[in-house]
Amino acid sequence: MSSVAVTAQTAGKGAAKAAARRRERGSRASRAASRRPGWVVYTLLGIALLISAFPLYFTLVLGSSDPVAIAQSPLPQWLPDSSLFQQFATVVESSQINFWRALLNSVVIAVTVSASVVLFSTLAGYSFAKLRFRGRGPLLVFVIATMAVPTQLGVIPLYILMSEIGWTGKVQAVVVPGLVAAFGVFWMTQYLSEALPFELVEAARVDGASMIRTFWSVAMPAARPAAAMLGLFTFVQQWTSFFWPSIVLSQNNPTLPLVVRSLQATYFVDHSLVMGGIFLVTLPLLMVFVFVGRQLVAGIMAGAVKG
């Protein structure tokens, strides 16, 4: 990691990439020399994969089974069938569930929060990593310290605050507390201090770019890979978040995880309907995962891990 940074500072970004690629190829060649794993490894991994996928399969099967059959057998049938779509239709059309409203809210919240976290984190991260100002050290330590603080425990005053300004039940009550994240600032600071050479910033300044122009035209493009990962993880986190939305939002104006809750409250005897609804709620992110799963894996392995 550090050698990349050194190369990047002396020979520019392309050279750093090329060096990293060369090294990668070298290590891959040396690993290819060690033999490929046998069938035992693949079998064990296959089992792990089956366990990962099983609950989703289970949801599909139960979603297409008869409620009476579910109450009498652990796995009423082996394969999902077309009655699944009937459950989907019921969930989507139900007046108590507000499915489309929830989908819209989830999209709005996840997109707004991700965009805001990425923008503000990149701004602050650029400032911490590449600009010099009084109080920089202590402020950065403060940011890092807040990462270990369980802010989730501040829900009571947050709720009082939201009801004071009349935001309870409204989407902005979920959006606004999520707009910034200490982890994001820390992550972008780390990335930019290694990926953005000082020379590049200086060159832009010499060419007469203002501070904000330098940020926008030099720092932003350099930050893109890390920003994309941060955005992805924030998106998943917001999409699956439940605790605070369940407190501040109501069933009339829910997010998708709250739909799961109202499914259980409304139809808890009708297991097939509940299971069909759960799958429907999971489906959007599952489809996104097909396209961005690779980046998520890379992000976790690069350390985009929220503590």
Partner 1 sequence: MAVLSPTQPAPARGRPPGRAPRRVGFSQRLGRWDVKLSPYLYISPFFVLFAVTGLFPLVYTAFVSVHQWNLLGGQGEFVGLQNYADVLDQPIFWRSLVNTVSIFVLSSVPQVLLAITIAALLDQNLRAATFWRMGVLVPYIVAPVAVSMIFGRMFADQYGLVNGLIGIVGIDPVGWHSDRLASHVAIATIVNYRWTGYNALIFLAAMQAVPRELYEAAVIDGAGRVRQFFSVTVPQIRATIIFVVITSTIGGLQIFDEVRMYDAAGLGGPSKNWMTTVLYLYDVAWGNQKNFGRAAAVAWILFVLIIAIGMINFLLTRRISTSGPSTPKVGRRHTRALLERARAAGSATTTPPAAGPAPGAGAPPSGGARAGAARAGTTPEEDR
The radius of gyration of the chain's CA atoms, rounded to the nearest angstrom, is: 24
Residue 96 interacts with partner 1 (CB under 8 A): yes or no: no
**Can you tell me the distance from the alpha carbon of 65 to that of 81, in angstroms, rounded to the nearest whole number?**
8
Residue in 82, 137, 166, 252 binding partner 1, rule: CB under 8 A: 137
Q: Return the range that interacts with partner 1 (CB under 8 A); candidates 82-90, 95-103, 133-141, 222-230.
A: 133-141
Residue in 246, 251, 253, 270 binding partner 1, rule: CB under 8 A: 246
Measured between alpha carbons, how far apart are the two ends of the chain, in Å?
21
The DSSP symbol for 154 reads: G
Residue in 239, 250, 254, 276 binding partner 1, rule: CB under 8 A: 239
Give the nearer residue to partner 1 in terms of CB position, either 20 or 180.
Answer: 180
The nearest distance, CB 25 to partner 1, in angstroms, is 14
The nearest distance, CB 102 to partner 1, in angstroms, is 12
Note whether 189 and 128 are within 8 A (CB).
Answer: yes
**Site mask for partner 1 (CB under 8 A), range 99-118, x = bound:** --------------------
**Can you tell me the distance from the alpha carbon of 195 to that of 186, in angstroms, rounded to the nearest whole number?**
14
**Can you tell me the distance from the alpha carbon of 255 to that of 113, in angstroms, rounded to the nearest whole number?**
14
The DSSP symbol for 250 reads: -
**Site mask for partner 1 (CB under 8 A), range 52-91, x = bound:** xx-xx-xx--x-------xxxxxx----------------
The candidate with the shortest Cα–Cα distance to 284, out of 252, 251, 240, is 240
Chain positions 255 to 274 lying near partner 1, rule: CB under 8 A, are 256-257, 260-261, 264-265, 268, 271, 274
Residue 11 interacts with partner 1 (CB under 8 A): yes or no: no
Q: How far is CA 59 from the centre of its chain?
A: 23
